[in-house]
Amino acid sequence: MTTIAKFEVKYQQYLDADGKLKNKKAPAIAKDFDKLKELYRGMALIRQLDTKAYALQRTGKMGTYPAATGQEAIGVGFGAAMKDEDVLVPYYRGQASMVMHGVRMEEVLLYWGGDERGSDFQNEKARQDFPIAVPIATQSLHAAGVAKAMQMRGEKRVVFTEIGEGGTSQGDFYEALNVAGIWNLPVVFIINNNQWAISVPSEIQTACETYAQKAIAAGIDCVQVDGNDMLAVYQASLDAAEKARNGGGPTVIECISLRLCDHTTADDASRYRPDGELEEGWKKEPMVRLRKYLEANKQWSQEEEDAMQAEIVAEVQQSVDNYLNTPVDTPESMFDYLYAELPERTLAQRELAIARGAK
Amino acid sequence: MTTIAKFEVKYQQYLDADGKLKNKKAPAIAKDFDKLKELYRGMALIRQLDTKAYALQRTGKMGTYPAATGQEAIGVGFGAAMKDEDVLVPYYRGQASMVMHGVRMEEVLLYWGGDERGSDFQNEKARQDFPIAVPIATQSLHAAGVAKAMQMRGEKRVVFTEIGEGGTSQGDFYEALNVAGIWNLPVVFIINNNQWAISVPSEIQTACETYAQKAIAAGIDCVQVDGNDMLAVYQASLDAAEKARNGGGPTVIECISLRLCDHTTADDASRYRPDGELEEGWKKEPMVRLRKYLEANKQWSQEEEDAMQAEIVAEVQQSVDNYLNTPVDTPESMFDYLYAELPERTLAQRELAIARGAK
Amino acid sequence: MAAITLIEAVNLAMAHEMEKDKDIVVFGEDVGVNGGVFRATDGLQAKFGAERVIDTPLAEAMIAGVAIGMAAQGMKPIAEIQFMGFIFPAADHIISHCARMRNRTRGRLTLPMVIRAPYGGGIHAPENHSESTEAIFAHIPGLKVVIPSNPSRAYGLMLAAMRDPDPVIFLEPKRVYRIEKHEIEDNGEEYPLGMCFVDREGTDITLISWGAMMHETKQAAEKLAQEGISAEVIDVATVSPLDIDTILESVQKTGRACIVQEAPKAGAVGSDIAAEIAEKAIMHLLAPIGRVSGYDTMMPYYRLEKQYMPKVEHIVEEAKRIVEYR
Amino acid sequence: MAAITLIEAVNLAMAHEMEKDKDIVVFGEDVGVNGGVFRATDGLQAKFGAERVIDTPLAEAMIAGVAIGMAAQGMKPIAEIQFMGFIFPAADHIISHCARMRNRTRGRLTLPMVIRAPYGGGIHAPENHSESTEAIFAHIPGLKVVIPSNPSRAYGLMLAAMRDPDPVIFLEPKRVYRIEKHEIEDNGEEYPLGMCFVDREGTDITLISWGAMMHETKQAAEKLAQEGISAEVIDVATVSPLDIDTILESVQKTGRACIVQEAPKAGAVGSDIAAEIAEKAIMHLLAPIGRVSGYDTMMPYYRLEKQYMPKVEHIVEEAKRIVEYR
Ligand SMILES: Cc1ncc(C[n+]2csc(CCOP(=O)(O)OP(=O)(O)O)c2C)c(N)n1
Ligand SMILES: Cc1ncc(C[n+]2csc(CCOP(=O)(O)OP(=O)(O)O)c2C)c(N)n1
Ligand SMILES: [Mg+2]
Ligand SMILES: [Mg+2]
């Protein structure tokens, strides 16, 4: 037999779990401390947002909510690599990248709080971003479509889309990779490999050694990175975006992390998570490691940490207040955005809903 | 960056286009001339069946029919590698493997002639085989399910399923590979790469260099073979079946061939096929090459050829007669197999259909 | 004998039948250790092993397609779709294969399989978790679509679904998963599929519903009784194939019909029932056929879901309008 | 002005609008060089280039999903599904996303897209190529489902579909693709969506149909006329959202209604129409509401398809039964 094609999957890590720079050839971001502080702050913000959302849910003021605890480097990292004019097509645990790309935290809360206005992103940057796709993996195809539109119009814009490692088992994910490959689309597929799909671990999700290699089935580029290493996530995202922006086509970036929380507020991971996993996981999580790196480089102090935390707490609290102060939408809002113009047949129902709502 | 996974795709060809044994390490089948004659006859039979079906369609006695001209080695080759107790889950252009696994030619004709009885395979060997799946790629998942049942029951049986190269773009194909990988199922996925999906050539079907490599996305084994080389197809199928039968799990076999006919009787390939392709293609087709090999080994003569052709013509004609002599089924047959027991609500419709049919 | 909820009844039925029938296999996303996100399969893996209670990769087309393959081999898969909103990737397998296999092979291959899914609104669930799209599958000949409204029926109908030689879509109204308990003896006695239940006899109007809405419907009947209106209440239970005879019989008696459903009104199962009545019992009708439905709009996110869903008072109101119709 | 067939009218409408609106992109399997398996897109690639008339890989979920992404960017994709039987892999995208995007983003993202598919039986096509499953999509709020019955309507409705700011499922009754020709001026004049056409005025009964069955229905009306029965004939054209007012108006006048459809009867669009009449115009009815339908069974393979499909004489028979009803 002759070998007719060869492939390999590469792995990138710069910062190890102790925040030490392992890699000699560190990218420019490793010395861009202002940017790194911004990214660190981004992670802290998302963690605080998740904490608050959880608390709201526990007190009956929030619906089911999926925290991203432990995976903050992924969404914050690739979100920061996006330009304003790029488009985000998030997955449901995508609050980190969403907030990085301009979605307001109160919008995230409104969405999970059961209000459609949470997907009516007000920030100009996010105006073209997709709302969360709850049906797993469908977003991958929407991302390809957005990228196709950009490509047809000759725009230098890039689409980022995220998916869980469990979501990669869906046909939609693969179909998206395939079409992105054949059309050479400007899209970056981020796989958030947090090692769990609700209660299903990777061992029973796929026989693949890596999720990155799924790109090979579509003939597109891929890389696996330490998803708890902000430097690796950010740099890989930047590289992929740059490539896509310049006509180099799609990339799959697998970011390995660990879900350090329940799947959602509706879940109880103690039913299935092996003993010790959380303890081990917390030792590798992304925030401490970046903080240690900043500290080792004399770029961060306890005072700065305290000041930042205070700021963040206030910022999130403001969003929570805005969320809580948003009155429930009107009954007629159920109808007013269904079509550009409500069909004759449904007008009477709209009236009925208003009348019933008024009671 | 460190390399964390490596893959390669191998290619196998034994007989070149001139019927010369290219490969020193030819498998046993290369000297099993009785078997080779059987396989040669299988191909001739399918080509005659296709020819007849086409003629029937052209004279209004047959519906749309998909010939397999030029791809006979694929279906005949893997069909012959199957044991009686194995299960075939065919694709719609699957008549070659179907007939090899015991489906009667008149059943093939009945199916495409618009009669459900064409899927009620009478031969014991084919009794558990799936009917043709017209919705492309769905069969891949059914094959995985059949294999799962065999595995659960501890049976030493294998499932073969075929798909066109175009069909591999469907999510179902990938989902099937993925689940077959994770469950280590006894299933062989044959990709019939005839280089066209109706009018769509491979260049706009995928960015992959090979279709075989799609297996890498599922962590399963794959190989690419010359699909016009009966030895390669047969041997790869046999090896994959043996492996699966012994708990070694699934394999993807890409067989490269060329569709030497229109997509179906409803198609006109001259609209899209580049000039010269057919001429080139006929030089590589599988029958002549096997015949040359047999002849070079003094295993085949013009007399044998003539005798075989006469036999085959008669055999196919008998099937055609049986097909044509099968009266149209009764109107009530539309109802009698819908459920084990027809619902009350539908009984009156059944009566109505009988009454209307009697007019 | 213990008092159990609807979801416990589904669980009990599965456990009962798995014990007796080794061909039954349960699979889906998170059905194993986790016991399903609603705990419908709780304890089954511990009892029957990971070989028979299988966590699958995350892919609904795969779940349905694999179930078809297994069923064709004579196994009896019970496939869980985590929420009905996620059944659509499996639509092709359900519509193009499940429903048709027996017919297209003239009975050679049959598919004794069950697809279970929680469905409907009212539990403050996230987007895509609350729709009622039973009409889609009810329109497909070859399928059976069954919706239990209470624990006893869940137990009996689930048993029947597992024993049925043909594919059954078993939709569980999750709003009433835990709303009431019934004393259920685990005796393996099934309720027949394809049969309505007459839950209350009455003379003035027939109220027809299924699933979670049965609860509002029965309450409405109670209120109507207090106002001197005698409502007959029918639980359709199997929305396809419909047991239209029981409905027609009732309507012939009462002369008035009102259908109650959670789904959007246009093209819903209620339309089918109304059409059947309008075709076969119109001469007995004393008033228009009423339908109390969800609105013809997207199921709203949960802050507005109460505004969307039919309520007891809406049923009472519509029933009175019909009864008072001259 | 030339006399053209229904499929040529679809082609003409696309060519017309693509000329004017650079955001329109046509894509699907074999729509390019091959011009579609029925030639609906014939010549479009030659005219507008492979950039705007795109052959896709073989994957319907992809086709629908990519269309959604493009439309959200303000492009106007026309996605072809080769046969309606192959739309189901795309069901999730159509139901969970297409239908909902405007509403869930409060109008921020909208999807001006068309999904075209040939549908229905009667052309001796292979398995899965002949079903009529419009009811599935007609039940989904947020979609429009349009079915032209003749060349002029195909031209006008297709123009409207392309210009519509919301997703339209455009189902082409392939049995009548080439059955008749209309003189069509390529003037870009659209027919409004969401509106029935009254094709024949009458006083004794209202015959309601759409798509290919309009041909049998009109013939039936003709035959009825010969027997002294005056039938009003309505072409529904947009099966969702339904223009129920036009239908009710007619039924109020004639007092009798018969719906003609090719789909299986249970839960079909005809049920919805009947239910609406039974709710809103029952007091005007002088007879049961008839439905001439396909049977509640799988669409048979082609040798039996004639036995399956409603015929002129069935319509005449049912109409007479209704008219003579006492
Ligand atoms: C099509 C579909 N099926 C099932 C679900 C239910 N569900 C929500 S999240 C989830 C697991 C997702 O796991 P993964 O993709 O790894 O993402 P993670 O939650 O780990 O971020 C499942 C099964 C869904 N939302 N959509
Ligand atoms: C889901 C689905 N989509 C579309 C079709 C229509 N169709 C029939 S064959 C075909 C092309 C198949 O190409 P390929 O898979 O390469 O197989 P080949 O015909 O070359 O053997 C298409 C698009 C179908 N049958 N099913
Ligand atoms: Mg995960
Ligand atoms: Mg092909």
Asked whether A178 and B200 are in contact (CB, 8 A), the reply is: no
C1, pLDDT greater than 80: no
**A46 and A179 fall within a common domain:** yes
Residue B25: pLDDT band with limits 50, 70, 90? confident
> Is C272 a pocket residue for ligand 1 (Cβ < 6 Å)?
no
Domain tally for chain A?
Answer: 2
Q: Does A206 touch chain B (CB under 8 A)?
A: yes
Percent of the residues in chain B that have a pLDDT greater than 90, as a whole number: 97
- Give me chain A's average pLDDT, please: 97
A255, pLDDT greater than 90: yes
Q: What's the pLDDT tens digit per position in A158-180?
A: 999 999 999 999 999 999 999 99
Judged by CB atoms within 8 Å, which residues 244-303 of D form the interface with C? 263-264, 266-272, 274-280, 282-283, 285, 287-291, 295-298, 301
Residue B358: pLDDT band with limits 50, 70, 90? confident
Q: Which domain holds residue A130?
A: 10-328
C147 versus C283: the higher-pLDDT residue is C147
Q: If you average pLDDT over residues A326-353, what whole number do you get?
A: 97
User: Which residue, among C147, C107, C319, has the nearest Cα to C223 in the 3D structure?
Assistant: C319
User: Which residue, among B74, B80, B12, B26, has the nearest Cα to B297 in the 3D structure?
Assistant: B26
Structure confidence at residue A317 (pLDDT) = 98
**B350 and B237 fall within a common domain:** no
Q: What's the pLDDT tens digit per position in D60-73?
A: 999 999 999 999 99
Nearest CA in chain C to A204: C57
A69, pLDDT greater than 90: yes
**A91 and A198 fall within a common domain:** yes
D326, pLDDT greater than 90: no
> Is D82 a pocket residue for ligand 2 (Cβ < 6 Å)?
yes
Closest Cβ opposite residue B170 in set D37, D55, D89: D89
Percent of the residues in chain C that have a pLDDT greater than 90, as a whole number: 99
> Is A200 a pocket residue for ligand 1 (Cβ < 6 Å)?
no
Q: Ligand 4 centre from B165 Cα, in Å?
A: 5
The pairing of strands D144-146 and D238-240 is antiparallel
Structure confidence at residue B194 (pLDDT) = 98
- Give me chain B's average pLDDT, please: 97
D299, pLDDT greater than 90: yes
Structure confidence at residue B24 (pLDDT) = 77
**Chain C residues within 8 angstroms (CB to CB) of chain A:** 29-30, 32-35, 37, 55-59, 61-62, 85-86, 88-89, 124-129, 265-266, 295-298, 300-305, 307-308, 314
User: Is the CATH code 3.40.50.970 the one for domain C2-184?
Assistant: yes
Q: If you average pLDDT over residues B241-253, what whole number do you get?
A: 98
B261, pLDDT greater than 90: yes
Residue A309: strand, helix, or coil = helix
Residues of A carrying an active site annotation: 259, 263, 272
Longest CA span, chain A: 78
Closest Cβ opposite residue D290 in set C279, C290, C297: C279
**A318 and A353 fall within a common domain:** no
In this structure, what DSSP letter does residue C194 have?
A: S
**A356 and A311 fall within a common domain:** no
A112 contacts C86? CB cut-off 8 A: no
Q: What's the pLDDT tens digit per position in A284-309?
A: 999 999 999 999 999 999 999 999 99
Asked whether C6 and C177 are in contact (CB, 8 A), the reply is: yes
Min CA distance, B190 vs chain A (Å)?
Answer: 16
ipTM: 0.98
Q: Which two tokens mark B164?
A: 């066109």
Phi and psi for D54 in degrees, rounded to 5? -115, 125
Q: Is C129 one of the annotated active-site residues of the chain? A: yes
Q: Is residue B223 part of a domain?
A: yes
From-to residues of CATH 3.40.50.920 in chain D? 197-324
Q: If you average pLDDT over residues B139-159, what whole number do you get?
A: 98
**B312 and B357 fall within a common domain:** no
Q: Ligand 3 centre from A312 Cα, in Å?
A: 27
Structure confidence at residue A24 (pLDDT) = 78
Virtual torsion, Cα B262, B267, B272, B273, nearest 10 deg: 10
> Is A135 a pocket residue for ligand 1 (Cβ < 6 Å)?
yes
**B336 and B258 fall within a common domain:** no
Q: Is residue B5 part of a domain?
A: no
C221-234: b or e for each residue (b if 16 or more CB lie within 10 Å)?
A: bebbeeeebebbbb
Residue B23: pLDDT band with limits 50, 70, 90? confident
B110-133: b or e for each residue (b if 16 or more CB lie within 10 Å)?
A: bbbbbbbbbbbbeeebbebbbbbb
Q: If you average pLDDT over residues B156-167, what whole number do you get?
A: 98
Residues of D carrying an active site annotation: 129
Structure confidence at residue D54 (pLDDT) = 98
CATH of the domain at A47: 3.40.50.970
Q: Does B259 touch chain A (CB under 8 A)?
A: no
User: Which residue, among D67, D5, D16, D1, has the nearest Cα to D190 in the 3D structure?
Assistant: D16
Structure confidence at residue B12 (pLDDT) = 97
Q: Ligand 2 centre from B163 Cα, in Å?
A: 9
D168, pLDDT greater than 90: yes
Q: If you average pLDDT over residues D210-227, what whole number do you get?
A: 98
**A214 and A73 fall within a common domain:** yes
> Is A74 a pocket residue for ligand 1 (Cβ < 6 Å)?
no
**A336 and A268 fall within a common domain:** no
C187 burial class (0-12, 13-18, 19+ CB within 10 angstroms)?
exposed
**B192 and B337 fall within a common domain:** no
D35 contacts B206? CB cut-off 8 A: no
Mutation choice for B interface testing from D84, D304, D309 by most B CBs within 10 A: D304
Say which residue the tokens 């490509």 belong to. Answer: A151
Q: Does C62 touch chain D (CB under 8 A)?
A: no
Q: What's the pLDDT tens digit per position in D234-267?
A: 999 999 999 999 999 999 999 999 999 999 999 9
Q: If you average pLDDT over residues B63-89, what whole number do you get?
A: 98
Q: If you average pLDDT over residues B145-161, what whole number do you get?
A: 98
From-to residues of CATH 3.40.50.970 in chain D? 2-184
Residue C91: pLDDT band with limits 50, 70, 90? very high
Q: What's the pLDDT tens digit per position in B46-55?
A: 999 999 999 9
Look at the alpha carbons of C114, C115, C120, C124 in this order and tell me if their dihedral is positive or negative.
positive
- Counted across chains C and D, CB pairs separated by less than 8 A come out at 154
Q: If you average pLDDT over residues D13-27, what whole number do you get?
A: 98
**A197 and A337 fall within a common domain:** no
Nearest CA in chain D to A170: D61
C27, pLDDT greater than 90: yes
Q: Does A25 touch chain B (CB under 8 A)?
A: no
Q: Does B217 touch chain A (CB under 8 A)?
A: yes
Structure confidence at residue A249 (pLDDT) = 98
Residue D183: strand, helix, or coil = strand
A359, pLDDT greater than 90: no
C320, pLDDT greater than 80: yes
Chains within contact range of chain C (3+ C-beta pairs < 8 Å): A, B, D
Q: If you average pLDDT over residues D274-295, what whole number do you get?
A: 97
Q: If you average pLDDT over residues C59-70, what whole number do you get?
A: 98
CATH class of segment(s) D197-324: alpha beta
Q: What's the pLDDT tens digit per position in B287-343?
A: 999 999 999 999 999 999 999 999 999 999 999 999 999 999 999 999 999 999 999
A152 vs D2: CA distance, rounded Å? 34
C296-308: b or e for each residue (b if 16 or more CB lie within 10 Å)?
A: bbbbbbbbbbebb
**B194 and B342 fall within a common domain:** no
Q: To which H or E segment does residue A312 belong?
A: helix A302-324
Residues of chain B with Cβ-Cβ distance to A2 below 8 Å are 10-11
The residue type at B212: A
D33, pLDDT greater than 90: yes
Q: Does A33 touch chain B (CB under 8 A)?
A: no
Asked whether B43 and B290 are in contact (CB, 8 A), the reply is: yes
Structure confidence at residue B216 (pLDDT) = 98
Closest Cβ opposite residue D303 in set B64, B328, B349: B328
Structure confidence at residue C313 (pLDDT) = 98
B287 vs B46: CA distance, rounded Å? 11
- Counted across chains B and C, CB pairs separated by less than 8 A come out at 139
A300 vs A307: CA distance, rounded Å? 11
B345 contacts C241? CB cut-off 8 A: yes
Q: If you average pLDDT over residues D217-223, what whole number do you get?
A: 98
Cβ-defined contacts of A277-286 (< 8 Å, 24+): A281/A70, A282/A70, A283/A17, A284/A17, A284/A228, A284/A258, A285/A70, A285/A228, A285/A258, A285/A260, A286/A43, A286/A70, A286/A71, A286/A72, A286/A73, A286/A227, A286/A228, A286/A229, A286/A230, A286/A257
Q: Is residue B175 part of a domain?
A: yes
D69 contacts A337? CB cut-off 8 A: no
D55 vs B348: CA distance, rounded Å? 46
